[in-house]
Amino acid sequence: MTEFNQYKALTFDCYGTLIDWENGILGVLKPLLIAHNTNLDDDQIIELFAEFEAELESGDYIKYREVLKRVVQKFGERFSFAPTADELNSLADSIQHWLPFPDTVEALRVLKQNFKLVIISNVDDDLFAFSAKHLDIKFDEIITAEQAKSYKPSLNNFRLAIERIDLPLDQILHVAASVYHDIVTAKSLGLSTVWVNRRAVQKAVCPTGSAISQPDLEVPDLKTLAALSSPK
């Protein structure tokens, strides 16, 4: 059982954990692909997005806006079409419209009463600024890939966050939806973790078979986390 009173700071992944990135991505890529005579189901689109994104983020650092542009380019290469200039920029341009999950904002307000709240996100500063407006909460620290010049699951992003938070590791709890990007790396550094498994009712996208990928706590959403962490 996770004892929340030992923690002073909660660190959060943003997209997929706080912001509904799947609907944001599908809202752009699905009509784009259909326009180029390519019909894929939602899971296929998300799986290809994840494949292309991980490949692009594993090389030399480029800004996330460029990552998203090249993701669209890779869809074109895979399915033999040439995206227009507007289509290449469409994913990055759409982030300003991506909305939080229905439980996110209220849960963050509850959690803010007892913890410092910190963002660790694979994004550019200006793109996160759009999302911050929707999240409607003042974060104590915001660590982006642009600041770290690397992308999770790199240790670098978490080390930068730990340095800025300036608390002992056992007082920091990392909350994320991605085992691959977040849980494994956070645990390897000695952080406790919460897996927000929003897709549990559908299927577990990220396997948690190995010991290092096992979160300390699994919840279906942030509302549940806020309820569990509130003093009894």
> Where do the domains of the chain lie, and which CATH numbers do they carry?
4-20+100-229 (3.40.50.1000), 21-97 (1.10.150.750)
The proportion of the chain whose per-residue pLDDT surpasses 90, expressed as a percent, equals 90
Catalytic residue among 13, 20, 124, 221: 13
140 annotated active-site:
no
pLDDT at 231: 75
* Banded pLDDT at 230 (limits 50, 70, 90): confident
Query: How many whole angstroms separate alpha carbon 153 and alpha carbon 163?
Result: 17
Order of strands across the sheet that contains 172-176 = 141-144, 116-121, 9-12, 172-176, 192-196, 217-219
- Measured CA angle at 21 (ends 230, 16), to 5 deg: 35
Residue 36: is its pLDDT beyond 70?
Answer: yes
* Banded pLDDT at 209 (limits 50, 70, 90): very low
Q: Please state the rounded mean pLDDT for residues 72-99.
A: 98
Which helix (H) or strand (E) segment holds residue 229: the answer is helix 222-229
pLDDT at 205: 43
Q: Please state the rounded mean pLDDT for residues 181-199.
A: 95
Q: Does the model's pTM come out above 0.85?
A: yes
Residue 202: is its pLDDT beyond 70?
Answer: no
pLDDT at 213: 73
pLDDT tens-digit map of 109-156: 999 999 999 999 999 999 999 999 999 999 999 999 999 999 999 999
Residue 167: is its pLDDT beyond 60?
Answer: yes
- Indicate the average pLDDT of the chain: 93
Q: Between helices 104-112 and 222-229, what is the axis angle to 10°?
A: 20
Residue 207: is its pLDDT beyond 90?
Answer: no
The proportion of the chain whose per-residue pLDDT surpasses 70, expressed as a percent, equals 94
Residue 208: is its pLDDT beyond 50?
Answer: no
Q: How far is CA 82 from CA 12, 35, 62, 91, in A?
A: 36, 11, 22, 16
pLDDT at 1: 55
Strand pairing category for 217-219 and 9-12: unpaired
Q: Please state the rounded mean pLDDT for residues 1-8.
A: 87
